[in-house]
Structure formats: C-alpha cells, structure tokens
Amino acid sequence: MKLVQGLRSTSKLNPEVISILVTLNHLVNVSDTVYNAASISSVLNGMRNLNDNTTEVRNVLKIMSPRIRASPDVFTPKELSNSISGLMSMSSNSKSLLNVLLALTEKISECKEPFTSLDIGLCFSGLKNMRTSPEVNKFLGQMALKLEKPFKMRERDISTALYGLQGFLLLLDWHKKSLVVQRRHFQCLGVS
C-alpha cells in the first residue's frame, strides 16, 4: 500500500503511474487480504492528485470500496479525514468514486471519537471537485452529525473546509460565530 503513497506528488497520469496503478489493481485482486484503516487511508490519500477520469484510477477505487466495507477497524477521525481528502481531485461523475464515498460514510457513522477542526476541514476539502448527489448528500448528513456538538474551529481549518465546499451554496454568519452550510435541505449549525 505504500506504493500509492508515492503518487501523492503526481498530478499527471504518465505511463509509469498507469503501470503502478495496473500493478496495484492486479496485486489487490489476487489477494484475500483484509486491509486495516491505516492502509486504506494511505492508499486513498496517496491518490490525492489523481482524477477519476481514467480507467486505472476508477479500477483502484472499484476495488477499494469493498475493502473499506470489509475492514473490521473502526476508523479514527484522522484516518477518515486523510482518506476523504485523498478524493479532492476527483469528481462525483464515477460510480466507483461514489461507492468509495458511501463506504467511507458508513465508517464515519461508526466512528465515536470526536473530530478535530483539522479533521472536519480535511473531510470537506475532499469534496472540492464533487457536485451534489445522493451519495455526497449522505456524506454531508453524516458530517453534520459530527458537527452537532459545539467546538472551537481554527480559522485555517474553516478555510480548508470552505475550500472543499466552494461548489456548494455557502452562507457565513460571523456575527453568531457559526458556520452555516446549505445545499437544498442540508444545514449544519453550531460550529463556534
């Protein structure tokens, strides 16, 4: 899985990167290994600069969603935020990506640890190139539940969150020191 971590600085799918992704797909498909949360987080975070417009990237995503669901681990907020921020260059046009997002959404609901402001910012930054869909809305709903308890959020983490949510309708109410994010019927209140 460390193989994919090295792709983090790659923004173009050159022949070498495609070869690595094809090899990774082959290795994972012939293995019965159940991946732990840290490995899944590393793989997805390593794909941070890759878009899902190619078959090779979509194939990696396709094999990751069942691996995420099969993982017996309860993901930590850090593992979830690193996983989701790894999706930031991807759009919500591919079913493979939406399945990964749904699998991660299920893991968010299992997570009982509190999310830090950095975790929240990174989770929302992963949505940067996505548009609204039932899967994205379900993810946003789970994140809204994590925001129910008031906590301090650092300015830079708010900025990171807003960066990821820039495609959604945003309303900032600084007078009340709360962040309100609306998209259709979605509303988060209580971040102080």
Select the more confidently predicted residue: 131 or 111.
Answer: 111
Cβ-proximal residues to 124 (8 Å cutoff; 6+ apart), any chain: 143, 160, 161, 162, 163, 164, 165
Which 3 state secondary structure label does DSSP give 73?
Answer: coil
Determine contact, residues 69/103, Cβ cutoff 8 Å.
yes
pLDDT at 9: 47
Range with lowest mean pLDDT among 69-73, 92-96, 115-119, 157-161: 157-161
Condensed to tens digits (0 to 9), the pLDDT of residues 2-42 reads 445 445 445 566 777 777 777 777 776 667 778 899 999 99
CA pair distance 114, 129, nearest whole angstrom: 26
With left for phi above 0 and alpha for psi between -120 and 50, is residue 12 left, alpha or beta?
A: beta
pTM, rounded to two decimals? 0.77
Q: What is the bridge-based pairing of β-strands 178-183 and 170-173?
A: antiparallel
* Long-range residue pairs from 74-78, CB within 8 A, at least 24 positions apart, any chain: 74/37, 74/107, 74/110, 74/111, 74/112, 75/37, 75/40, 75/41, 75/104, 75/107, 75/108, 75/110, 75/111, 76/37, 76/111, 76/113, 77/111, 77/113, 77/114, 77/115, 77/116, 77/119, 78/41, 78/119
Q: Using the structure block, give the residue that is written with the tokens 């259709």.
A: 184
pLDDT at 12: 61
